[in-house]
Structure 1
Amino acid sequence: MRPTLYEFAGGDPAFRALAAAHHERCLADPELNHPFSHPGQHPQHVDRLARYWAEVMGGPPRFSQECNDHSAVLRMHAGNGDMSDLGRRFVECFVRAADDAGLPADPEFRAALRSYMEWAVAEVLTYPGPARDVPAGLAMPHWSWTGLQAV
């Protein structure tokens, strides 16, 4: 049986490294740095992001149990209007952060990571209006080697 993306990546340490590297890349990007450097950001942003991605990729449900749900994540990113270019930049930072974090260079694994982030950015972009437009109780997405899994 094939391991989950979470297992293949290296578990919690790999996703912590990915979240930290992604955060650093976004801070260094002249367009993305503003939302990543504002003073209201959660002090455990990187750890929470690592838990979220780990859960999405087949890891334990720590984000759902300890932090919040998928609707809350979408609400946090809603209301920003058209962010198409920011979304593209966000994906590129994510892809490069996988290198920075030392995640496996396996082409199928990297394709699965990219396809997840492209899907995630597209989902965020479906809520350009206020946070109240995001439905309550959205299930946490689960991503595998073949893409989004039915919940």
Structure 2
Amino acid sequence: MTEETPTLYEWAGGAEALRKLFDRFYEHVRADDVLAPVFAGMDAEHPKHVAAWLGEVFGGPKDYSTQRGGHAHMIGRHLGRALTETQRRRWVALLIDTADEVGLPDDPEFRASFVGYLEWGTRMAVMLSQPGVEAPADSPMPTWDWALPPYQP
């Protein structure tokens, strides 16, 4: 990638696109039989916070870190929740479907990066949510970049 290459945040459409994505996504979550119980006590601002999280991870403003406490805060929100693989898979599938619905870019390069992060991030959330897991002492904010295809002509 070159210096002119936009960040994933820019390619996705920035804050507005991510807010639209998560506002719609959590509307679907509220109606989903697998996920609704997990998010039953969800704060009304939750979609906004998740959009800020993903925006920062994808190279956008550091709003989640400055306003919410960064990765340590995110880990803390998952500790002890005992998330399941079924819930994780449903969350990922529903978010990908919602990305299609709201018109997030669907080019293979962006989607490889987008889905790659969803897979990594949700697997980390499941691992960190299990009973007895303690938050790591050092938890820097993850950053995600463009996936590089195995073959480039």
TM-score, normalised by the number of residues in structure 2: 0.86
The secondary structure found in structure 1 opposite 2:37 is helix
What CA distance in whole angstroms lies between the structure 1 residues aligned with 2:124 and 2:44?
25
Higher radius of gyration, 1 or 2:
2
Query: What count of residue pairs does the alignment treat as equivalent?
Result: 144
Q: Which residue of 2 aligns with 1:56?
A: 57
Comparing 6-15 with 98-107, which one deviates more in the overlay? 98-107
Paired with 2:24 and 2:113, the residues of 1 have a C-alpha distance of 18
Aligned residue in 2 for 1:96:
97
Give the CA RMSD over aligned residues.
Answer: 1.6
Q: Deviations over 1:4-59 (max 9, x none)?
A: 11000111101101111221222221110112232xx3331111111111000110
Moved more, 15-24 or 53-62: 15-24
CA contact (8 A) 1:19 1:47 kept: yes
1:111 to partner: Cα distance? 1.7
Map of 2:71 onto structure 1 = 70
Q: Compute the TM-score of the two structures, normalised by the length of structure 1.
A: 0.88
Identity fraction in percent: 35
**Cα 1:47/1:24, change in 2 over 3 Å:** same
List gaps (5 residues or longer) in structure 1. Answer: none
Equivalents in 2 of 1:99, 1:74: separation in Å?
Answer: 28
Indicate the residue corresponding to 1:32 in structure 2.
Answer: 35
Question: Structure 2 matches for 1:42-53, cutoff 5 A?
Answer: 42-53=43-54
The answer to whether residue 22 in structure 2 is matched with residue 19 in structure 1 is: yes
1:146 shift after superposition: 2.2
SS for the counterpart of 1:92 is helix
